[in-house]
Amino acid sequence: MGARRSLKHKEFPPNLYRQESGYFYYRNPENGKIKGLGRDRAAAFQSARSANAALANLTKCDLVAWVSGVEQYSLSDWLDKYIDLWTEKKKPTPGTLATAKRYMTRIKKADFAWMQVKDVTTRHIADFLSDFERSSTASVTLNLRARLHDAFEWAQNFGLTETGKNPVSSTIIPDYEVKRERLSLEQFLLIREQVSPSAANGMNLALLTGQRIGDIVKLKFGDYRDGYLFIRQTKTGHKLQQDGRIRLAALGMSIEDVIRQCRGRVISKHIIHHMRSSGTYKAGGKLSSSGLSTAFSTGLIAAGIKASEGKTPPTFHEIRSLAERLYKKEYGQEFAQSIMGHKHAKMTAEYDDLRGSGWAVVTVK
C-alpha cells in the first residue's frame, strides 16, 4: 500500500506529486523511482494518468497465473533463475560465468527490470541498449544484447512470454567494426627479432598451437607427453591433444621443435619462462600474460610497425588469427578449426569417446 497522500495532493492522480517550487514529479509505485514532469499542471496530470493506466494493464501474478500453472517472474527475478539454468546446462568456465553475471547485474538496473517478463517490449530493450552503447562500446553492447536475447529465449521455453516473440530480436544490432589491424607473417618475424628469447618462444608456441595468450603462459613441460601437447582452454573449457609433429612450413618449425627449443639451461616446469632473474621475477618463473603482451607491443614499436589510418596496431592476440590463416592455407579449413579448438571443428579433431576422456586429438595426416 502506498503512503497516505497529503491534503494538498488529494486531488492529484495517484503517484503524482508537486514540490514546493511547483515542479511536478511521478513516483513509480513498483520500484520507487522518480521522474520529473515539469511545471505544466495539465500535462503532468495527463502523463500521470497515462502512466497509471499502463501500470493497471501490466500482468499481475494473481489467481489466473496460479490456475494456469505458469509461474510469473519479474525480469529481475527471472534473470536470477535463468543464469542458474544456463549454468547447469552449459557448464561455462569461471571466466565466462563471471562475464555473464556482470551482464545480468547491468540488466537488473534497467528501469523496466521490475516488470514481469511478458510485459517487457522491444521499445524497452531498444532504449536500454541505446543508452548502454553510449556509455560503453559497440562490441560490449553486442554481447549484452546476445545475453539478453538468450534470457528471453529461455523465458519462452518456460511459457513466460509468447512463443516466437522475443522482444530483443527486433532491436537493431549495433554496428561493430574491428579496428585492430591483422598481423602478417612478415610482421611476426620482425617483432620476434626485437624481443627476448623467452618472449620469442612464447610467440612461436602461440603461432604453432593457435592458442590464446592465457593458455600459452600456463603450459608446463609436463603437458607434453607421449608426443602430444595437452591443452585445456581456459575460456571454453575445451581439451586439445595436439600432435607434436604438427608443423608450419611458413615458420619452419613443429610444436615439438619449439618445446625443445624452450628447454634451456634454466630449470623450470613452465614451457615459457624467464631465462634470467631481474627485478621482481626469477629465472625459471613463468612469464605472465601481461608480461608477454607487453614484450610483444614493445617489439612491435622497435620493429617500426605502424597501423594503417583508422586502425590500431595488432596485439599478441592477433597471432591466433595468423595461425588460423596459415594452417588453413597449409592444411585446409577443417584442420585449422580443429587445432584452434573451435566449437564447430569437424572430425579432423577426433574425439576420444572410447576412453571417455573428452580430449580432441589433432594429429598430422
DSSP string, 120-181: --HHHHHHHHHHHHHHS-HHHHHHHHHHHHHHHHHHHHTTSS-TT--TTTTSPPPP----BP
343 shares its domain with 203: yes
Determine which one of 106, 239, 317, 328 is catalytic. 317
Same structural domain, 332 and 193: yes
- pLDDT for res 214: 93
Q: Of 59-63, 70-74, 92-96, 179-183, which gets the smallest average pLDDT?
A: 59-63
Percentage with pLDDT > 70 across the chain? 87
pLDDT at 60: 54
Among residues 57, 82, 97, the one where a domain terminates is 57
Residues 283 and 353 in one domain: yes
Q: Which residue has the cell 615458420?
A: 251
User: For residue 141, which amino acid is it?
Assistant: T
Catalytic, 320? Answer yes
More confident call, 44 vs 237: 44
CA distance 193 to 203: 11
Tell how far CA 171 is from the center of its chain: 20
Active site residue 25: no
Confidence band of 101 (pLDDT split at 50, 70, 90): very high
CATH number for the domain harbouring residue 50: 3.30.160.60
Among residues of the chain, what percentage have pLDDT more than 90?
A: 48
Over residues 183-208, mean pLDDT: 96
Domain shared by 196 and 117, yes or no: no
Q: Which of 49, 218, 325, 351 is catalytic?
A: 351
From 235, 311, 325, 328, active-site residue? 235
Look up the CATH number of the domain holding residue 89. Answer: 1.10.150.130
C-alpha 266/C-alpha 264 separation (Å) is 5
**Does the annotation count 27 as an active-site position?**
no
Same domain, yes or no: 147 and 288? no
Q: What is the phi-psi region of residue 289: left when phi exceeds 0, alpha when psi lies from -120 to 50, beta otherwise?
A: alpha
Residue 5: what pLDDT? 53
As given in the structure block, the three cell numbers for residue 310 are: 583508422
For residues 207 and 61, give the distance between their C-alpha atoms in angstroms, rounded to a whole number: 56
pLDDT digits (tens, 9 = 90+) for 111-126: 888 888 888 999 999 9
User: How far is Cα 232 from Cα 234, in angstroms, rounded to an integer?
Assistant: 6
For the chain, give the mean pLDDT.
Answer: 85
209 and 352 housed in the same domain: yes
- 296 inside domain: yes
In this prediction, residue 20 has a pLDDT band, given cuts at 50, 70 and 90, of confident
In the chain, the amino acid numbered 93 is T
Residue 206: inside a domain: yes
Is residue 349 predicted with pLDDT exceeding 50?
no
Q: What cell numbers appear for 68 in the block?
A: 494456469
* Catalytic residue check, 224: no
Q: Is residue 261 part of a domain?
A: yes
What domain count does the chain have?
3
For 139, the domain range is 67-157
Of the two residues 275 and 294, the one the predictor is more confident about is: 294
Q: What is the CATH number of the domain that holds 204?
A: 1.10.443.10
Do 30 and 41 form a contact (C-beta atoms < 8 A)? no
Q: Is 325 considered catalytic here?
A: no
- In this structure, the answer to whether residues 91 and 128 fall within a common structural domain is yes
- CA angle (92, 94, 97) in 5-degree steps: 60
Q: Is 212 a catalytic residue?
A: yes
Q: Indicate the pTM of the whole model.
A: 0.62
Three cell numbers written together for 197: 628469447
pLDDT for residue 57: 62
Listed residues 19, 38, 57: the one ending a domain: 57
> What confidence tens digit (pLDDT) does each residue in 243-255 have?
999 999 999 999 9
Over residues 46-88, the pLDDT tens digits come to 888 888 777 766 655 554 454 444 567 888 889 999 999 999 9
Q: Both 135 and 51 in a single domain? A: no
Looking at the structure, tell me whether residues 49 and 81 fall in a common domain: no
Q: Is the confidence at residue 260, as pLDDT, over 80?
A: yes
Higher local confidence (pLDDT), 309 or 153: 153
Same-domain status, 309 and 242: yes
